[in-house]
Amino acid sequence: MSEIALIGKKIGMSREFYKTGQSVPVTILKMETGRIIQVIDKNKRGYKAVQVGFGKIKSSKLKKSMKGYFAKKNTEPKKILKEFKVNNIEDYKEGNEIGIEILKEVKYVDVKSKTIGKGFAGVMKRHNFAGLRASHGVSISHRAHGSTGQNQDPGKVFKGKKMAGHMGDKFRTIQNIEIIKTDAINNLIYLKGSIPGSKNSDVIIKKAVKNIRKLTMSEKIEILEKQKKTTDKKKK
């Protein structure tokens, strides 16, 4: 089940306190229960995958083709449809629901979401340029990027040149974010630190691709508590 991702909504940020008095900033995600709409066979499409539907949408907002598709699958209309490649399609059946339980034993996750749009931004804000000099002959172009090209040959600006332009509003993936705790009753996940995106934005969360061997916050605090107990015994 770790091959499949879940989609949730970013509620906001808070902080979690431990017995030692230490606090950790957390991002709270409200997870949605997914429903397997279609199991894709390798013989038909050339690859093995599972199509999962998330969220609710009014049937009046759907096209006729999608209305027919959901009616054929005998399920209520879903707002988001996502395909996930899997190794064994035998483990999945159409109509089965997937929820927060697939991340029960997972410690670290990869999170993908759209960053907050900043509009048209200059190079100093967008790429952290230093800008030009404040005086000594520089006029009206203090925040300019300077030269962008070369000589007559090649006589063009290369692709990927850092320049002013649209900033933000792009999908970004943050890897190896620690799960501080999960609330199965309210379908909430508490992630350590911040993640991209504004409030109520959709977030795709999946088991971390990389193998992380570092200690979690709860494990670190357990070690600290043991050390305190040993020092207290020595004092006595």
Q: How many domains does the chain have?
A: 2
Helix/strand/coil (H/E/C) assignment for every residue in 61-126:
HCCHHHHHHHHHCCCCCEEEEEEEECCCHHHCCCCCEECHHHHCCCCEEEEEEECCCCEEECHHHH
> Where a domain ends, among 167, 189, 224?
167
212 and 106 both lie in a single domain: yes
Which of 112, 141, 167 finishes a domain? 167
Rounded CA separation 69/33 (Å) = 20
pLDDT reported for residue 218? 86
Is residue 1's pLDDT more than 80? no
Partnered with residue 39 across adjacent β-strands are 50
Query: Within a domain: residue 1?
Result: no
**pTM for this one?**
0.85
Averaged pLDDT, 181-187? 91
Q: Which element (helix H / strand E) includes 165?
A: strand 165-167
Same domain, 185 and 212: yes
Amino acid at 88: N
If asked whether residues 54 and 16 sit together in one domain, one would say yes
Q: Is 221 helix (H, G, I), strand (E, B) or coil?
A: helix
Domain CATH code at residue 103: 2.40.30.10
124 φ, ψ (degrees, to nearest 5) = -70, -40
Q: What is the DSSP string of 18-38?
A: -TTS-EEEEEEEEE--EEEEE
The verdict on residue 136 lying in a domain is yes
The pLDDT score that the predictor gives to residue 49 is 92
What are the pLDDT digits (tens) for 56-106?
999 899 999 999 999 998 999 999 999 999 888 888 898 899 989 888 889
Q: Identify whether 228 is part of a domain.
A: yes
Residues 24 and 73 in one domain: yes
Q: Does 91 fall in a domain?
A: yes
Domain that holds residue 158: 121-167
